Structure 1
């Protein structure tokens, strides 16, 4: 796996970024911090956030410094097209636009054929803002591991806001492993957008670990005939961790396929919220879309919520959705006890079976899978 792809990591020029930021100011000036009346934020306690403690002023527009870098690996036309796509498909979310305006630079990453790994570290207590654009050219096949790691040395609450775009051009295949590792004092606001062109296939695996409060918007746009997007992952929550995930699949063309399959395990006093939505406009044909959410609670004080939605306005489609929220199966638990396992061993085995299927279905190395299992196990059963 290539983990040193600096030659493919570009920063858009100062002048181009400045012009782009001007183009979004009109929309930004109309946006305000969301309130509880906003459906997407009604269960996330934004009203209780002490922005001063996070060293952030919501009324400020930041004067971000730009880095200079060559853009020669892509033509002017391609770069202009990428920025145009961002303008067209960026969600109208306050924090998405905040990232565009406050990020020190826009990083454009050209993804190589084969396997690659990219790591991003967020250091210190000051607010961090980032914009990352991952780009896979037509006809290429890639497996990409993304690691987001937040590190700080104090117990002060702090925040990050990021916008990540994944653009898969025509007839490409792209499997993405998205790993978040957050300290226990972090507010993470994140927007992820996936653009899938004709006959491209994107598999996005999301595994967030740690954090205090986090909100994720994931929007996938299936833009051409034959496009396919699959999103899955596992959230493992402990302590007082709150994760609020909202995932949406937008079908724009005939003969497109999407699937969301997400699992969450909660313990202690943690709270997980999953909202999924399939959006299919009128007159589309031969569209297949599925979503499912499975949630396991290990403590009566822990909470897991699943909110499946469908906005299907076409007739020639196949759509399904389902959700479960429950405790460990008592019959299975007592069966394992009867076979001589201890209560702790029985619980650990059942929990591991719940999330293990998702991990072992991803197309990455056994080393990566074992690392994911170890992180999840540490949160849920103390690493035993």
Structure 2
């Protein structure tokens, strides 16, 4: 595994960043922090956020750009221009996505190599953090990457993080992403992820967020060419008073495209998980397959899980399905395990592990990685603090 791809982790030049931000700022100047009248933010308590406590003033935005020494060596201008054009065209229409582009001190370009790689991104301290990362895979390449996002601070002050991640796969490529996010329990986290899948490319995106106080995720996948396929799955494990609000969207732009969302959440204590999925298929497309499913398990009567499946299907020659479940541990299975000599704690742990285990073991990474994921989830749900 290559964990030191510094020569392929580049920073967009200061001059090009300034030029690109001129266009972004024109749009940004018309945006305001969303309110609960916005459907996507209806259940996220933005109105109660104390921005002063988060050391963030939306009326005094700094657009300072870091003068990095690394700045696109040997890159073809057309490649960078194409990437920036895609970002401008497909950036999620969300306040915090644009905020990241306006405030992030630099834009990081990561050109993926063949094989498996690991990246660690750390955010330290209480000051607001903003980042933009662009992952780019050339035509015909195959890559697997682990992204470790770590948010670490040493006080009990609430703090803010906002990020935008773009994944661009060119024609006939394959990309599998294991997205692991570990947050401290005082973090307000706003994140946008965009996936652009061109003709005959396949993307598998596995999302495993752990920790945090309040978090909102927008994931938008665009299937741009014939034969494109995008699969998104993952597991949220929530404890304490953690709130996670996930909104995932698959937008089909071409014939013979395939998408699937399969997401699971387990909630305990007084936590709250919200999942909204949307499949968008415009008119006149043919041979489109799209599936969406959300499974939610509650371990405490005070915990809440919500599933909101949506479909905007305007074409006829398609195959679309959706499903959602919210429930408690199956009592019949629970008492069966007790009758076989297991303790209540062992029975509960076994059933919870079985609920999310299939998702973990379907990912294309090592057994060591899978066991690490299981350990993190168990720590939140069945014994850890």
TM over 0.5: yes
- Runs in 1 of length 4+ with deviation above 3 angstroms? none
Structure 1 gaps, min length 5: none
Spell out, residue by residue over 1:143-195, the C-alpha distance to the aligned partner (whole angstroms, 9 max, x if none): 10001000000000001000000001100011000000000000000000000
Q: Counterpart of 2:58?
A: 58
Q: Secondary structure at the match of 1:100?
A: helix
CA distance in 2, matches of 1:73, 1:309: 44
Contact 1:11 1:69 in 2 (8 A): yes
User: Deviation of residue 383 (structure 1)?
Assistant: 4.8
Q: Counterpart of 1:347?
A: 348
User: Deviation of residue 63 (structure 1)?
Assistant: 2.6
CA distance in 2, matches of 1:61, 1:181: 27
Spell out, residue by residue over 1:290-318, the C-alpha distance to the aligned partner (whole angstroms, 9 max, x if none): 00000000000000000000000000000
Q: Counterpart of 1:358?
A: 359
Is 1:34 aligned with 2:38? Answer: no
Query: How do residues 272-287 of structure 1 correspond to structure 2 at under 5 angstroms?
Result: 272-287=273-288
User: Deviation of residue 26 (structure 1)?
Assistant: 1.6
Task: State the TM-score, normalizing by the size of structure 2.
Answer: 0.99
Equivalent residue pairs, number: 384
Contact 1:14 1:68 in 2 (8 A): no
Structure 2 gaps, min length 5: none
Is 1:143 aligned with 2:135? Answer: no
Task: State the TM-score, normalizing by the size of structure 1.
Answer: 0.99
Q: Counterpart of 2:17?
A: 17
CA distance in 2, matches of 1:25, 1:8: 28
CA distance in 2, matches of 1:124, 1:70: 27
CA distance in 2, matches of 1:71, 1:11: 6
User: Deviation of residue 61 (structure 1)?
Assistant: 2.2
CA distance in 1, matches of 2:59, 2:199: 41
Spell out, residue by residue over 1:104-152, the C-alpha distance to the aligned partner (whole angstroms, 9 max, x if none): 0000001110000010000000000000000011001111000100000
Contact 1:374 1:383 in 2 (8 A): no
Query: How do residues 1-384 of structure 1 correspond to structure 2 at under 5 angstroms?
Result: 1-66=1-66, 67-383=68-384
The CA RMSD measured in Å over matched residues stands at 0.9
Contact 1:121 1:148 in 2 (8 A): yes
User: Deviation of residue 71 (structure 1)?
Assistant: 1.0
CA distance in 1, matches of 2:300, 2:71: 53
CA distance in 2, matches of 1:287, 1:306: 24
